[in-house]
Chain A
Amino acid sequence: MPIGLPEIVWSHLAPELILVGSAMVLLLAGTFFRDRHLGPGYAVFTLAAAAAALVATWALWGEVTGSEPGSGPRLAVAQALVIDGFGLFFTVVICAAVALAVLLSDSYLERERLDRPDYYVLMLLSASGGILMAKANDLIVVFLGLEILSIALYVMAGYQRDRPRSLEASAKYFLLGAFSSAFLLYGIALVYGATGSTNLGFISAFLREQTVTSGVFLGGMGLLLVGLGFKVAAVPFHMWTPDVYQGSPTPVTGFMAAAAKAAGFAALLRIFFSTFNDNRLDWQPIIWALAVLSLLVGSVLAVVQTDVKRMLAYSSISHAGYVLVGLQAGTVEGVAGSLFYLLAYTFMVLGSFGIATVVGRKGDDRHSLDDYKGLAVARPGLAFTFTVFLLAQAGVPLTSGFLAKFGVISAAVESGSYALAIIAMVAAVIAAFFYLRVIVAMYMSGPAAAGADGLALPRLTVPLGTGAALGLAVVFTLAAGVLPEAFLDFARHATLLRL
């Protein structure tokens, strides 16, 4: 039987094509310039690719969300993809994550003598996988995107081959990731069995027409949740997070925290909020429980950490809890809140891991709280920058982090989930404790206080690219905290219509 090729409007796929194409070019370039040192050449090229993808996305944005006739969301590639504001929003988030991560990575790779193009190839591929997940209109495409995203990340986690921790992170991430992919795939199979299709549009229409309560469908839904919950590091699927975050090269951790979480939530939101909307009474309680667990476990376990990377890993778990609070509300406002949260989080978390990259120093292993002592004296600018990120993560007003929390919690309150809102706020207080611990280390316990074990003032240099990334992240964090209207609008335009 001949398989007809679907009609493809290539311009709709421009952002992905740019990223994948650039990855191919880089791969070839790597073989040509194998023996030559190109300096920041690869990084600049990757940055340009991310920028070009952003421009392409911007062009599509007008076409998709405009109000004139003919504009609006559209399906592409035989309904396998959907080009809508939601997908484009995540394209922007992931491209921003790539840009920031590249700026951080360049000097890092140079410092660790790992400067090779394949790193950037992996990052671009991983990003395109994430974008595919966000735009998927078919469960199979979700799976494809997830695998492209993850496999590249597994390799990146182990990129520092001479460091056992990095290898451990990679192996752990890969093994558990493979399991979660299997869960996801099995979930897809069950949903297909119950509804007769893997296409999200068909599934949605099917569920609207008839009430499906069969165990097969509910089981499929649960397994999808397991698979995606793993990617976004929601409790109880979070076990891998601390080890992998701690072991991976620090810029990779930042990228992983931002992009993988964003992509996972993109799929989660599209599948559950949009496609399974008619069965929301089935999934809302489960999401409620996941959110509560993530919020509490994440923040409580973060309190006892003494390693900053590990602490940020637990805090990322509790951040996942907040995004789930937005999803649990099951309203358009809730989704808008989740989207804004992810946007704000991308900058906060990459900024935080950017600081950790600098403080980690050569060898990337100076991440204990003690290593931050006296930072305010040695590098006041760096300490202040980190303070902004930490306070933003704690949800202090006039930062993007506060409005992010405000958005999801107001959605929870509006939909009547008062208990969840209160739990989320209490978790924020617990979380504040460990963000403050880092601030205490930086500002209130100088190296003199730590003098017993002879800690000298940290001698740190901030490379140009890292400085640019940190500057961008700080500016965004404060700007979105003071004048958020544009960003809120962006998130609101990107919310899903119920298909």
Chain B
Amino acid sequence: MSGPGFPLLTLLVVLPALGAAVVALVPRDSEGAVKGVTAVASGVTALLSLYLLGAFDTGAGGFQFVSDHEWIASFGISWKLGVDGIALFLVVLTGIIFPIAIFGPHVHHDFKGYAAWMLVLQAGCMGVFLSLDLFLFFVFWEVVLVPMYFLIGGWGYERRVYAALKFFLYTMLGSALMLVGILTLVFLHAQATDSAVTFDLIALAEGQSVVGNTARWLFLAFAASFAIKVPIFPVHTWLPDAHTEAPTGGSVILAAILLKLGTYGFLRFGLYLFPQAAVDLAPWFLTLGVIGILYGAIVATMQKDLKRLVAYSSVAHLGFIVVGIFGFSTQGLQGGVLQMVNHGISTGALFLLVGMIYERRHTRLIAELGGLQKVAPVFAAVFMVVMLSSIGLPGLNGFVGEFLVLIGTFVTRRWWAVAATVGVILAAVYLLWAYKRVFHGEPTGENAKFAELTMRERLVMAPLVLLIVVMGVYPKPVLDRIAPSVDNLITHVEQHSDYRQPAVAVARGD
């Protein structure tokens, strides 16, 4: 199965898409068949992604499992997929979180449509993380929009249409600039090297034929798209709406996977293609990242709606990842990559729990909840673990990522790291306060009848809680796989820019 001919990565993209097509063809009334097909498609994809994790060569920093086929030869476009340490865990996360998001929450109508769009979304996300061709990347980047739009608009809450539209238009505006950026880069590269037009990421990044001011503009064109997706303050305003109005499964995917597309884009394309420009503009992005951390945390504190609170907490957490990326230290980058995965797990789990609260109480308003710990202790315990992971308590996964980001950035960009650290405290403030209001005290009225976690819900939450603890206690296997690729990226940046990492920032092997 690991032979060079086996198209593992292609399967990861194609299988969910195929599943979606089959689901679409199954008659609406045979729910069993829809569920079966969805389970097989998402389940096998999950297994394949785990197999990829096992077969991945830990020590290597380059792209593995590369599959390269001509697609639109006349434009120099190819179906080129590959995975490295930076993408690996995001791919695995995409593989395992989708079955959870599809089958975990209760879907109140038209499961067939929901499952089909979810599978299309999974194919798109896989494609973004695996693409090594700019055109292919852009195609997947845009394709992701459509299913998410329908998921929010079709299965969301009251203001879903508004939220879906806002999400679509915001993201598309960013992509518009990126497409022009991609094309400019491609043609300038072709002119500079006097070769045929190619969209191959590695060729373009190694060629480095665009430098100086042009590179800065192009970096900004790409960054516009990534910043909206992350989202970085001040282009984050679509996120609270989309998160709040999306159905639970949609919120889980938004938080766990879709927000990572932006930060992943910065790493894979921004830094790799335009190292000097990224270095030059880093202070701006660091500042925006720190503003996001503080702003997100403060606004989250003020929220009355539990789901909106979690949504704003994402703005803060993503700020940490941005700081880690633009700190340009080995540890900071490792922490950033790790934090992408961590945030996916813990915020995904938080959204699932908030969804369960809504299912039971039909409200998400913190003021209407209270005393749930008395009637549903297991529920409260699970919520506590997930929340503490989100706060960054040592021993849980959230700590490892944020800690690495902060010490890495402290070495290279001291004052930004200091400001960012305040965000850790603020996270404790808004989450613990929310926890107190929702779970402590005496339950009254409807809250007294709050049901405990069912067996099915326990099964949904178990793998996530397990990951939270395991990755918090023993993150080494994960970091070992991330590290070589991060080193490669830093070396690449150093080779092609005037940036030199201080020696003390280099993480020592063990």
Q: In the bound complex, do residue A425 and residue B145 qualify as a contact, i.e. CB atoms below 8 Å apart?
A: no
A433 to B180, CA, bound (A): 20
Q: How far is the CB of A325 from chain B (nearest CB, A)?
A: 12
Determine the interface band of chain B, counting residues with CB < 8 A from chain A: 20 to 34
Q: How far is the CB of A359 from chain B (nearest CB, A)?
A: 20
Q: In the bound complex, do residue B161 and residue A445 qualify as a contact, i.e. CB atoms below 8 Å apart?
A: yes
A422-B180 contact given A398-B139, A443-B154, A489-B74, CB 8 Å threshold: yes
CB contact between B72 and one of A396, A432, A485 (< 8 Å): that residue? A485
Q: In the bound complex, do residue B183 and residue A409 qualify as a contact, i.e. CB atoms below 8 Å apart?
A: yes
A391 to B172, CA, bound (A): 12
A219 to B270, CA, bound (A): 49
A432-B183 contact given A396-B142, A492-B74, CB 8 Å threshold: no
CB contact between A436 and one of B140, B168, B173 (< 8 Å): that residue? B168
Of A71-79, A201-209, A413-421, the one contacting chain B is A413-421
A143 to B183, CA, bound (A): 38
Interface residues of A in 396-424 (CB under 8 A from B): 396-398, 402, 406, 409-410, 413-414, 418, 421-422
Interface residues of A in 356-407 (CB under 8 A from B): 391, 396-398, 402, 406
Q: In the bound complex, do residue A413 and residue B187 qualify as a contact, i.e. CB atoms below 8 Å apart?
A: yes
Q: In the bound complex, do residue A444 and residue B153 qualify as a contact, i.e. CB atoms below 8 Å apart?
A: yes
- Please tell me if B176 contacts chain A, counting CB pairs below 8 Å: yes
A480 to B263, CA, bound (A): 32
Q: In the bound complex, do residue B180 and residue A425 qualify as a contact, i.e. CB atoms below 8 Å apart?
A: yes
Tell me whether chain B's interface is mostly helix, strand or loop, or mixed: helix
- Please tell me if B419 contacts chain A, counting CB pairs below 8 Å: no
Tell me the total A-B contact number using a CB cutoff of 8 A: 78
A445 to B160, CA, bound (A): 11
Residues on B with C-beta less than 8 A from A429 are 169, 172-173, 176
CB contact between A422 and one of B145, B161, B177 (< 8 Å): that residue? B177
Q: In the bound complex, do residue B72 and residue A410 qualify as a contact, i.e. CB atoms below 8 Å apart?
A: no
Q: In the bound complex, do residue B180 and residue A418 qualify as a contact, i.e. CB atoms below 8 Å apart?
A: yes
Residues on B with C-beta less than 8 A from A398 are 139, 143
Q: In the bound complex, do residue B153 and residue A396 qualify as a contact, i.e. CB atoms below 8 Å apart?
A: no
A72 to B169, CA, bound (A): 47
Q: In the bound complex, do residue A440 and residue B72 qualify as a contact, i.e. CB atoms below 8 Å apart?
A: no
Give B130-165 as 1s and 0s: 1 = Cβ < 8 Å from A's Cβ atoms. Answer: 000000001110110110011001100000110011
Q: In the bound complex, do residue B146 and residue A391 qualify as a contact, i.e. CB atoms below 8 Å apart?
A: yes
Residues on B with C-beta less than 8 A from A440 are 153, 161, 164-165
Q: In the bound complex, do residue B165 and residue A397 qualify as a contact, i.e. CB atoms below 8 Å apart?
A: no
Interface residues of A in 439-466 (CB under 8 A from B): 440, 443-445
Q: In the bound complex, do residue A485 and residue B74 qualify as a contact, i.e. CB atoms below 8 Å apart?
A: yes
Interface residues of B in 172-203 (CB under 8 A from A): 172-173, 176-177, 179-180, 183-184, 186-187
Interface residues of B in 27-52 (CB under 8 A from A): none
Residues on A with C-beta less than 8 A from B165 are 433, 436, 440
Q: In the bound complex, do residue A397 and residue B143 qualify as a contact, i.e. CB atoms below 8 Å apart?
A: yes
Give A473-499 as 1s and 0s: 1 = Cβ < 8 Å from B's Cβ atoms. Answer: 000000000001100110010000000
CB contact between B73 and one of A391, A425, A436, A485 (< 8 Å): that residue? A485
Residues on B with C-beta less than 8 A from A426 are 173, 176
A428 to B140, CA, bound (A): 18
Instruction: Look across to chain B and name the residue whose beta carbon is closest to the beta carbon of A427.
Output: B176
Residues on B with C-beta less than 8 A from A402 are 139, 142
Q: How far is the CB of B234 from chain A (nearest CB, A)?
A: 18
Residues on B with C-beta less than 8 A from A410 are 75, 183, 186-187
A85 to B74, CA, bound (A): 19
Q: In the bound complex, do residue A397 and residue B169 qualify as a contact, i.e. CB atoms below 8 Å apart?
A: no
Residues on A with C-beta less than 8 A from B160 are 444
Residues on A with C-beta less than 8 A from B73 are 485
A81 to B169, CA, bound (A): 47
Question: Which of B140, B168, B183 has the most chain A CB within a 10 Å cutoff?
Answer: B183
Q: In the bound complex, do residue A421 and residue B172 qualify as a contact, i.e. CB atoms below 8 Å apart?
A: no
Q: In the bound complex, do residue A443 and residue B153 qualify as a contact, i.e. CB atoms below 8 Å apart?
A: yes
Q: In the bound complex, do residue A432 and residue B74 qualify as a contact, i.e. CB atoms below 8 Å apart?
A: no
Instruction: Look across to chain A and name the residue whose beta carbon is closest to the beta carbon of B179.
Output: A425
A397 to B180, CA, bound (A): 15
Q: In the bound complex, do residue A432 and residue B180 qualify as a contact, i.e. CB atoms below 8 Å apart?
A: no
A428 to B176, CA, bound (A): 8
Residues on A with C-beta less than 8 A from B150 are 443
Q: How far is the CB of A381 from chain B (nearest CB, A)?
A: 11
CB contact between A413 and one of B143, B154, B183 (< 8 Å): that residue? B183
Instruction: Look across to chain B and name the residue whose beta carbon is closest to the beta carbon of A420.
Output: B180
A425 to B138, CA, bound (A): 14
Q: In the bound complex, do residue A421 and residue B146 qualify as a contact, i.e. CB atoms below 8 Å apart?
A: no
Q: In the bound complex, do residue A397 and residue B138 qualify as a contact, i.e. CB atoms below 8 Å apart?
A: yes
A432-B184 contact given A391-B146, A409-B179, A422-B176, CB 8 Å threshold: no
Interface residues of A in 137-168 (CB under 8 A from B): none
Residues on B with C-beta less than 8 A from A485 are 72-74
A410 to B146, CA, bound (A): 23
Q: In the bound complex, do residue B168 and residue A425 qualify as a contact, i.e. CB atoms below 8 Å apart?
A: no
Interface residues of B in 61-83 (CB under 8 A from A): 72-75
Instruction: Look across to chain A and name the residue whose beta carbon is closest to the beta carbon of B24.
Output: A384
Q: In the bound complex, do residue B149 and residue A397 qualify as a contact, i.e. CB atoms below 8 Å apart?
A: no
A432 to B149, CA, bound (A): 12
A494 to B295, CA, bound (A): 56
CB contact between A421 and one of B143, B169, B183 (< 8 Å): that residue? B183
A78 to B168, CA, bound (A): 55
A425-B139 contact given A409-B183, A440-B153, CB 8 Å threshold: no
Q: In the bound complex, do residue A425 and residue B177 qualify as a contact, i.e. CB atoms below 8 Å apart?
A: yes
Question: Which of A397, A432, A433, A484 has the most chain B CB within a 10 Å cutoff?
Answer: A397
Instruction: Look across to chain B and name the residue whose beta carbon is closest to the beta carbon of A377.
Output: B110
A391 to B142, CA, bound (A): 11
A391 to B149, CA, bound (A): 12
A410 to B181, CA, bound (A): 10
Q: In the bound complex, do residue A444 and residue B169 qualify as a contact, i.e. CB atoms below 8 Å apart?
A: no
Residues on A with C-beta less than 8 A from B183 are 409-410, 413-414, 421
Residues on B with C-beta less than 8 A from A484 are 72
Q: In the bound complex, do residue B168 and residue A413 qualify as a contact, i.e. CB atoms below 8 Å apart?
A: no
Q: How far is the CB of B155 from chain A (nearest CB, A)?
A: 10
A183 to B180, CA, bound (A): 37
Question: Which of A406, A418, A428 has the most chain B CB within a 10 Å cutoff?
Answer: A406
A440 to B154, CA, bound (A): 9
Q: How far is the CB of A386 from chain B (nearest CB, A)?
A: 14
Residues on B with C-beta less than 8 A from A428 are 172, 176
Residues on B with C-beta less than 8 A from A422 are 176-177, 180
Residues on B with C-beta less than 8 A from A443 are 150, 153-154
Q: In the bound complex, do residue A409 and residue B74 qualify as a contact, i.e. CB atoms below 8 Å apart?
A: no
A443 to B140, CA, bound (A): 23
Q: In the bound complex, do residue B169 and residue A432 qualify as a contact, i.e. CB atoms below 8 Å apart?
A: yes
Residues on B with C-beta less than 8 A from A425 are 176-177, 179-180
Q: How far is the CB of B350 from chain A (nearest CB, A)?
A: 27
Residues on A with C-beta less than 8 A from B139 are 397-398, 402
Q: In the bound complex, do residue A396 and residue B143 qualify as a contact, i.e. CB atoms below 8 Å apart?
A: yes
Q: In the bound complex, do residue A432 and residue B187 qualify as a contact, i.e. CB atoms below 8 Å apart?
A: no
Instruction: Look across to chain B and name the residue whose beta carbon is closest to the beta carbon of A428.
Output: B176
Instruction: Look across to chain A and name the residue whose beta carbon is closest to the beta carbon of B156.
Output: A444
A397 to B73, CA, bound (A): 17
Q: In the bound complex, do residue B143 and residue A432 qualify as a contact, i.e. CB atoms below 8 Å apart?
A: no
Q: How far is the CB of B120 from chain A (nearest CB, A)?
A: 10
A444-B161 contact given A413-B183, A418-B180, CB 8 Å threshold: yes
A365 to B458, CA, bound (A): 55
Q: In the bound complex, do residue B184 and residue A418 qualify as a contact, i.e. CB atoms below 8 Å apart?
A: yes
Interface residues of A in 105-132 (CB under 8 A from B): none
Q: How far is the CB of A104 from chain B (nearest CB, A)?
A: 25
A286 to B187, CA, bound (A): 25
Further pairs besides A398-B143, A413-B180: 15, Cβ < 8 Å: A396-B142, A396-B143, A397-B138, A397-B142, A397-B143, A410-B75, A410-B183, A422-B176, A425-B180, A428-B172, A428-B176, A429-B172, A436-B168, A443-B150, A485-B72
10 pairs across A/B with beta carbons < 8 Å? Answer: A391-B146, A397-B142, A402-B142, A409-B180, A410-B187, A413-B184, A425-B179, A432-B169, A485-B74, A492-B74
Nearest 8 pairs of A and B residues by beta carbon:
A425-B176, A397-B139, A413-B183, A444-B153, A397-B142, A421-B180, A414-B187, A429-B173
